[in-house]
């Protein structure tokens, strides 16, 4: 047999698995099921880097381990294939996004397959496939045709609600959403309405509804962006300005499920940090909604929601969101210019930036005053960008004595600060939010404590019709429309301006072909370019498409039954697979994908289409593999030259200069002697560079001046890590990397090496620290890469990448191979019985690996394998009784190598069909124990005793031996202390 050649072995077994569909999961197996799922990727053009497979490797180990445990494992993979990057590429090149997406998916599949993942590729889904998004559209229609009944605490059919209206009118209906948007009507009035009027009356009840909503609008991209896609007022993709704009948008009423989403977290086996993020995002609070009348504008009352109605007497001003609908009405002529300027500036900032900026105080006075509802005092109305139109009522009751942000605003604009309890302290320095003490300066609640004051104020406000107690949530309804092409068409058409859901028989509504992927010249979304794209040839379709998270909110269900043309998932398949048993993915999805997926699942549960409490029972967030970035250091320098010939580029004959990290440190932080020597070396190297350049450019006469060491401040610049090995720069490769570097001057160490700087940071193409797994697989093999990524550290932690470390794992695999093929010769495995020492090594691995995989501690499993192979090598083990089960144990981690060895051992089937070895504790029990023997605490020698020997047995043996005679110096024995399993101390 030749030496271990991973590249040959791995290609062989990848082809075998594909041909034999080794990892195909059955929906009707009698085996217990196990569903392990990865958060599926968006297929970017760059493909995978070594940080991406971390979670995939972990989930694959679990999937393979569970198969060995006798379970029917569903381990699928697919692609979140709609999205903005492909659309932007289409805008730039004119190429259809489907073409780009298909090419990217092919790259991903190739990379995933060569890593040996045990996916059931027969179940692959792509969110951009019409056969898939037919059902995404179908779920949207179910939402459109449902409302949330607070009386039953579940979603119900909108048809049933219409029947109620026909029989009883709107009276008695308790529905999720804003009651003020819903007019009251009798049954007679409903029955007298025409169809458009009824549709308009139903719209505010629907779980999918249309409403004017503030969005992040990017004119350059021609689309709405999510908060995640905006940074510092600019689009994350392209860096274009983003503004807040009021636009008609489709929304999903996730707020109806806020309480259930909150309560469901308690039963989930998720990281505490993720559950806490969702709790904070949902943000349940108990408080009061209070109305502040505006005397000059009847009917223009301002509603605020507060959790501290007890402090209302200290409300010295109101703050509105700059986008608040009342701003134009309330702003006085004197303040109009200042308000307009402030509102315009706010539009250029994202909600996330506004919420995060706690240091900068900004605002503008409207010129108008409201009335405090409890005492009639005038309250000035201000605007501030820290108040958001979409949160609560878009207005805040500002109590600067009790809230630090209000305090900073009040002190900045010289507004009053009123003490409201006798327990508040240091109000000349900061706010004090205490609920302790008794109320002062507070009218009807003076002298009361917090609970009595709150109850009395709410009762007073409800009696006056100026407020009510209310439970509120920070969570907002999810904006569901995007003004893009490359997304799921929303299955809505418009008849005389009224939105209708497409009949289910018409699904899927397929994306039409268009000639260009930009918005139309009149500002419509790209779908406005479609020719003759109308329902029944006459009704306009909705021109927005769904957001990227639509298809990813239910894909785990489609994996259960991906080819079902009649149903989004069959009842039998959903019943069998149930919840996802293990879900692996990034923590960045905590308040996006994970929250929306739970929402959709609970809605489908209300419709009786799924049966588990939640979609994902256990969640693990894998940590990030950080890149090892390398830097070169560019130095400013001067050249005197006389250029005689025309036609050459100055960047060629006055090239950039870079100084080695070591030389830079000698100059910037070395002793005077070291600094002088380094500067002299730099000068000499500049002189050498001048001579070389003079030969390259005979028409240029150089008089080198070099760098100014008094102002020496090199600029670090990222360099491609593929040009660096052990921090030593490949100088020729660097000069060939880019045209502007071809004549670069490299100031090196005395040994001629250029040493790069190092920093551990996020892997990114812009930092040139991305490591392509293809290169490592070609050099070391996929099994080595899999093991190394697990060996880097605990799965959940961030870990720095260092390519040099993979050689150690590669050496381990070769050592494992040589247990079977010593010196890479013939197979040397024998059928001799195993020794107790060998069985002890094996069963220690059986026990430890099972424990580690069950608690997802894969790095310690790799260490266990390494120790075991070293021990077996030392024992000269070549026995089937040891090596065969050890091969099974290693197979989830290094599947290609173990498949090859399994076949060599004579097994016709894949090792995936083997069983996990049985652990037998008796093989770990020691027959003898070695005891240190001491006289008066000083150890003299060691002696073995039977593991079953009692303390009395050991004491008797010591007294009968020559130990006391040899070491007690003739002194009598006072006592013998035996610590079982540890040591013996003779006291003389």
Task: Give the CB-side neighbour count of residue 114, counting CA atoms within 13 A.
Answer: 19
3-state secondary structure of 58: helix
DSSP one-letter code for 765: G
Residue with tokens 């600094």: 675
DSSP string computed for 192-212: TS-HHHHHHHHGGGBSEEEEE
DSSP-derived secondary structure letter, 569: S
User: What is the enclosing helix (H) or strand (E) of 666?
Assistant: helix 661-669
The Cα 136–Cα 142 span in angstroms is: 10
What does the alpha-carbon distance between residue 357 and residue 378 come to, in Å, rounded to a whole number?
A: 29
Check the annotation: does 675 bind a ligand: no
Q: Looking at the DSSP assignment, which residues form a beta bridge with residue 954?
A: none
Query: Rounded to whole angstroms, how far apart are CA atoms 145 and 132?
Result: 21
Q: Please identify which residue in the block is written with the tokens 């504008």.
A: 297
Cβ(476)–Cβ(390) under 8 Å?
yes
Distance from C-alpha of 35 to C-alpha of 25, rounded to nearest angstrom = 10
Q: Which residue has the tokens 């020698």?
A: 941
Contacts of 342-349 spanning 24+ positions with Cβ under 8 A: 342/383, 342/385, 343/383, 345/385, 346/244, 346/322, 346/385, 347/243, 347/244, 347/245, 347/322, 347/323, 348/233, 348/241, 348/242, 348/243, 349/233, 349/244, 349/385
The CA-based dihedral angle spanning residues 346, 352, 354, 357, taken in that order and rounded to the nearest 10 degrees: -150
With residue 874 as reference, give the H or E element that holds it: helix 858-875
What contacts 24+ positions apart, CB below 8 Å, involve 278-284?
278/590, 278/591, 278/594, 278/595, 280/474, 281/474, 281/475, 281/590, 281/591, 281/595, 282/258, 282/473, 282/474, 282/475, 283/473, 283/474, 283/475, 284/258, 284/259, 284/471, 284/472, 284/473, 284/474
Supply the DSSP symbol for 255: G
d(CA 858, CA 620): 13
* Cβ proximity of 75 and 60 under 8 Å: yes
H-state helical runs in 916-971:
951-960, 963-967
Strand order in 208-218's β-sheet? 223-225, 208-218, 243-252, 478-479
- Report DSSP state, residue 645: S
Contact 885, 846 (CB under 8 A): yes
Q: Give the whole-angstrom CA distance, residue 175 versus residue 599.
A: 17
Where are the extended beta strands (E) located within 867-982? 928-935, 938-946, 975-979
Q: Is 443 left (phi over 0), alpha (psi -120 to 50) or beta?
A: left
Q: Report how far Cα 793 is from the mean position of its chain's Cα atoms.
A: 19
What contacts 607, CB < 8 A, 6 or more positions away? 142, 146, 155
Query: Known binding site: residues?
Result: 765
Query: Known binding site for ATP: residues?
Result: 765
């Amino acid at each position: 047999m030749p030496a271990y050649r991973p590249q040959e072995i791995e290609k062989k077994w990848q082809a075998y698995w594909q041909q034999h569909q080794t990892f195909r999961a059955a929906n009707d197996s009698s085996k217990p099921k196990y569903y392990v799922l990865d958060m599926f990727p968006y297929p970017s053009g760059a493909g995978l880097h070594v940080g991406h497979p971390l979670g995939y490797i972990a989930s694959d180990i679990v999937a393979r381990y569970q198969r060995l445990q006798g379970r029917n494992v569903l381990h699928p993979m697919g692609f979140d294939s709609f999205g903005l990057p492909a659309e932007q590429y289409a805008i730039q090149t004119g190429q259809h996004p489907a073409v780009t997406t298909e090419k990217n998916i092919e790259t991903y599949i190739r990379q995933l397959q060569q890593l040996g993942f045990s996916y059931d590729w027969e179940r692959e889904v792509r969110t951009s496939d019409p056969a898939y998004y037919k059902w995404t559209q179908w779920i949207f229609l179910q939402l459109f045709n449902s409302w949330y009944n607070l009386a039953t605490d579940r979603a119900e059919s909108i048809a049933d609600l219409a029947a109620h209206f026909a029989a009883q009118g709107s009276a008695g209906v308790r529905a999720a959403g804003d009651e003020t948007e819903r007019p009251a009507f009798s049954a007679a009035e409903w029955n007298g309405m025409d169809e458009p009027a009824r549709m308009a009356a139903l719209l505010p009840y629907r779980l999918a509804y249309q409403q004017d909503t503030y969005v992040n609008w990017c004119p350059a991209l021609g689309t709405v962006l999510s908060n995640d896609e905006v940074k510092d007022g600019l689009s994350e993709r392209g860096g274009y300005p983003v503004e807040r704009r009021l636009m008609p948008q489709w929304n999903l009423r996730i707020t109806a499920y806020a309480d259930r989403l909150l309560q469901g977290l308690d039963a989930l086996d998720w990281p505490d940090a993720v559950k806490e993020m969702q709790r904070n995002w949902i943000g349940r609070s108990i408080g009061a909604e209070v109305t502040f009348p505006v005397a000059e504008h009847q009917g223009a009352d301002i509603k605020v929601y507060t959790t501290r109605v007890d402090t209302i007497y200290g409300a010295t001003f109101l703050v509105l969101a700059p986008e608040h609908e009342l701003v134009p009405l309330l702003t006085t002529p004197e303040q109009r210019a200042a308000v307009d300027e402030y509102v315009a500036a706010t539009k250029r900032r994202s909600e996330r930036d506004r919420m995060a900026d706690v240091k900068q105080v900004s605002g503008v006075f409207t010129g108008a005053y409201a009335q405090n509802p409890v005492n009639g005092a005038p309250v000035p109305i201000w605007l501030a960008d820290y108040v958001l139109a979409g949160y609560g009522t878009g207005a805040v009751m500002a109590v600067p004595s009790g809230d630090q942000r209000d305090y900073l605003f009040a002190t900045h604009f010289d507004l009053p600060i009123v003490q409201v309890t006798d327990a508040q302290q240091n109000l000349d320095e900061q706010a004090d939010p205490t609920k302790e003490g008794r109320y002062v300066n507070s009218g009807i609640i003076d002298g009361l404590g917090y609970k009595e004051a709150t109850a009395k104020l709410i009762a007073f406000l409800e009696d006056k019709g100026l407020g009510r107690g209310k439970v509120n949530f920070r969570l907002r309804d999810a904006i569901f429309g995007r003004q893009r092409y490359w997304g799921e068409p929303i299955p809505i058409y418009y008849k005389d301006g009224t939105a209708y859901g497409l009949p289910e028989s018409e699904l899927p509504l397929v994306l039409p072909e268009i000639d260009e992927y930009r918005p139309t010249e009149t500002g419509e979304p790209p779908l406005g370019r479609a020719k003759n794209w109308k329902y029944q040839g006459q009704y306009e379709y909705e021109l927005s498409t769904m957001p990227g998270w639509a298809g990813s909110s239910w894909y785990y269900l489609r994996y259960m039954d991906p080819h079902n043309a009649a149903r989004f998932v069959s009842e039998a398949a959903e019943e069998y697979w149930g919840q996802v048993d293990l879900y692996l993915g990034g923590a960045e999805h905590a308040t996006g994908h994970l929250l929306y997926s739970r929402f959709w699942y609970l809605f489908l549960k209300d419709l009786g289409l799924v049966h588990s409490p939640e979609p994902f029972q256990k969640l693990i967030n894998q940590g990030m593999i950080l890149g090892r970035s390398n830097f070169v250091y560019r130095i400013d320098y001067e050249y005197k030259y006389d250029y005689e010939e025309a036609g050459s580029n100055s960047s060629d004959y006055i090239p950039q200069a870079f100084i080695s990290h070591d030389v830079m440190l000698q100059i910037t932080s070395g002793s005077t002697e070291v600094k002088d020597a380094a500067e002299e070396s730099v000068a000499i190297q500049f002189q050498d560079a001048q001579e070389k350049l003079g030969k390259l450019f005979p028409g240029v006469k150089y008089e080198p001046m070099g760098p100014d060491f008094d102002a020496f401040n090199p600029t670090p610049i990222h360099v491609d890590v593929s040009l660096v090995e052990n921090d030593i720069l490949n100088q020729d490769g660097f000069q060939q990397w880019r045209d502007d570097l071809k004549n670069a001057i490299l100031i090196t160490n005395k040994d001629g090496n250029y040493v790069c700087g190092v920093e551990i940071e996020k892997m990114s193409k812009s930092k040139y620290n991305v490591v392509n797994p293809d290169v490592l697989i070609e050099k070391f093999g996929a099994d080595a890469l899999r093991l190394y990524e697990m060996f880097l550290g605990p799965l959940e932690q961030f870990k720095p990448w260092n390519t040099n470390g993979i050689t150690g794992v590669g050496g381990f695999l070769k050592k494992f191979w040589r247990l079977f093929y010593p010196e890479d010769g013939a197979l040397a495995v024998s059928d001799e019985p195993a020794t107790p020492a060998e069985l002890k090594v094996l069963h220690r691995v059986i026990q430890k690996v099972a424990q580690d995989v069950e608690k997802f501690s894969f790095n310690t499993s790799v260490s266990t394998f390494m120790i075991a192979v070293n021990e077996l090598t030392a024992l000269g083990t070549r026995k089937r009784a040891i090596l065969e089960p050890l091969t099974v144990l290693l197979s989830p981690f290094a599947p290609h190598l173990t498949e090859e060895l399994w076949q060599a051992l004579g097994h016709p089937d894949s090792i995936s069909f083997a069983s996990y070895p049985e652990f037998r504790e008796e093989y770990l029990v020691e027959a003898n124990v070695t005891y240190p023997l001491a006289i008066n605490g000083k150890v003299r020698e060691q002696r073995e005793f039977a593991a079953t020997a009692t303390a009395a047995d050991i004491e008797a043996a010591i007294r009968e031996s020559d130990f006391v005679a040899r070491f007690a110096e003739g002194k009598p024995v006072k006592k013998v202390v035996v610590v079982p399993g540890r040591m013996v101390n003779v006291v003389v």
